[in-house]
């Protein structure tokens, strides 16, 4: 099977998965106790008539299956519906929040990969040295510490106590310097983006970094003990070349799998990090949608996150084949 056919095949496989996500989410959201209209109006004197008017306005007076069919028919035309609580198209709300979440998650991944791989290699090549022990302890702490707690500690240290970095918010490069009164130039904008991003990026990326580092170390140790490495050494190939050309490449396959599968963990972690660092991303929007029982918004965000995850897994599978020629696209040779 060619790459294009394989990709197409995997995308087609994703369709029933996504339909399943819509059904489960729709049922869970709509059958959860609570009423979004009453919740919206809670705390003020209201009568049943007003509640019914608003329910009709948003189609909430229809039977569940009709509401699902109406929702899906809109969805296939690209209409994610209208937020009850925020009185805005769901697509507009998600678009405005997608950027910060992607910036946060991708930068956390970049931080994790950029630190975990060198550290993993470093630890593997110094196996059982003090440096290896230290790196393993660091990784263990990273794996076992909740990201939100790391975030709070980073804020306390670097923002509150030292005043080096901002405690909250993000500066969005896509808004340009003109959106900020206190920023004049593009380099300054990028600098401020980096300053604001640093703490949430580290807080979110630490778990990924620790996980990747542990796997990288293990894989590199295994790889360095391989027969082909011994042969290379016997031929007098320099150690640096062995490490780079023979051991490293083979060791990366599990790393790619973990990066792909950890996307959901990262998106889940982003929810908390967005809260702690007051970042207006999809995660925060999702929590608020759940709290206000904003059905359409819950659906929209779940579908987008589900799609991102499915695409992440597909990209992971496809990447395999590029890195390891032994991997085929699902057919026996």
Of 32, 69, 141, 261, the residue at the interface with other proteins (CB under 8 A) is: 32
**Rounded to 5 degrees, what are φ and ψ at 267?**
-65, -40
For position 197 contacting other proteins by CB under 8 A, the verdict is: no
Of 45, 227, 331, 332, the residue at the interface with other proteins (CB under 8 A) is: 45
For position 33 contacting other proteins by CB under 8 A, the verdict is: yes
Of 229, 293, 308, 310, the residue at the interface with other proteins (CB under 8 A) is: 293
Q: Which two tokens stand for residue 237?
A: 């190939």
Kindly identify the residues of this chain, within the stretch 111-150, that bind other proteins according to CB under 8 A.
149
If DSSP codes are grouped into helix, strand and coil, which group holds residue 82? strand
HSE value, Cβ hemisphere, 13 Å, CA-based, for 209: 27
Distance CA 94, CA 299 (A): 11
For position 96 contacting other proteins by CB under 8 A, the verdict is: yes
Of 21, 29, 90, 93, the residue at the interface with other proteins (CB under 8 A) is: 93
**Binding window for other proteins (CB under 8 A); candidates: 80-88, 234-242, 310-318, 320-328:** 80-88
Of 218, 280, 307, 316, the residue at the interface with other proteins (CB under 8 A) is: 280
Q: What residues contact 207, with CB distance under 8 A and at least 6 apart?
A: 142, 143, 145, 147, 265, 269
Residue with the two structure tokens 């796997």? 215
The string of DSSP codes covering 86-148 is T-SBHHHHHHHHHHHHHHHHHHHHHHHHHHHHHHHHHHHHTTTSHHHHHHHHHHHHHHHS-HH
Site string for other proteins, 211-250 (x = CB under 8 A): ----------------------------------------
Nearer to other proteins, 123 or 171 (CB): 171
For position 59 contacting other proteins by CB under 8 A, the verdict is: no
- Considering the complex, what minimum distance in angstroms separates the CB of residue 147 from other proteins? 14
Q: What residues contact 139, with CB distance under 8 A and at least 6 apart?
A: 119, 210, 211, 213, 214, 217
For 126, 221, 242, 246, the CA distances from 237, given in Å and listed in that order, are 19, 18, 7, 10
User: 137 and 230 in contact (C-beta within 8 Å)?
Assistant: no
Of 146, 169, 176, 238, the residue at the interface with other proteins (CB under 8 A) is: 169
Of 15, 17, 35, 110, the residue at the interface with other proteins (CB under 8 A) is: 35
Please provide the distance, in angstroms rounded to a whole number, between the alpha carbons at the two ends of the chain. 10
For position 161 contacting other proteins by CB under 8 A, the verdict is: yes
- Considering the complex, what minimum distance in angstroms separates the CB of residue 153 from other proteins? 6
By CB under 8 A, name the binding residues for other proteins.
Answer: 32-36, 38-48, 50-51, 53-54, 85-88, 92-93, 96-97, 149, 152-153, 155-157, 159-164, 166-169, 175, 179, 182, 275-278, 280, 284-285, 288, 291-293
């Amino acid at each position: 099977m060619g790459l294009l056919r394989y990709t197409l095949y995997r995308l087609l496989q994703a369709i029933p998965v996504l339909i399943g996500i819509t059904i489960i989410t729709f049922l869970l959201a709509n059958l959860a106790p609570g009423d979004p209209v009453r919740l919206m109006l809670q705390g003020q004197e209201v009568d049943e008539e007003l509640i019914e008017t608003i329910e009709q306005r948003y189609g909430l007076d229809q039977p569940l299956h009709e509401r699902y069919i109406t929702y899906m028919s809109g969805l296939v035309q690209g209409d994610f519906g209208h937020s009850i609580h925020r009185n805005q198209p769901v697509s507009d709300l998600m678009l405005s929040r997608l950027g910060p979440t992607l910036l946060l998650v991708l930068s956390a991944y970049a931080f994790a990969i950029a630190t975990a791989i060198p550290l993993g290699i470093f630890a593997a090549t110094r196996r059982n040295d003090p440096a290896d022990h230290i790196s393993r302890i660091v990784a263990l702490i990273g794996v076992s510490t909740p990201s939100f707690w790391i975030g709070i500690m980073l804020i306390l240290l670097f923002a509150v106590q030292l005043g080096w970095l901002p405690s909250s918010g993000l500066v969005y490069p896509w808004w340009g310097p003109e959106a900020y009164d206190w920023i004049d130039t593009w380099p300054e904008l990028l600098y401020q983006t980096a300053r604001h991003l640093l703490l949430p990026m580290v807080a979110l990326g630490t778990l990924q970094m620790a996980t990747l580092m542990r796997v990288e170390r293990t894989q590199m140790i295994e790889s360095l003990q391989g027969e082909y490495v011994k042969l290379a050494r016997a031929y007098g190939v320099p150690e640096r070349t062995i490490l780079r050309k023979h051991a490293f490449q083979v060791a990366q396959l599990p790393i790619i799998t973990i990066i792909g599968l950890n996307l959901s963990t990262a998106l889940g972690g982003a929810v908390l990090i967005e809260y702690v660092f007051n970042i207006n991303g999809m995660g925060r929007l999702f929590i608020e949608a759940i709290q206000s029982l904003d059905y359409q918004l819950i659906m929209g965000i779940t579908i987008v996150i589900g799609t991102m995850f499915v695409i992440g897994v597909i990209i992971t599978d496809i990447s395999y084949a590029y890195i390891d020629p032994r991997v085929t696209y699902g057919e026996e040779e």
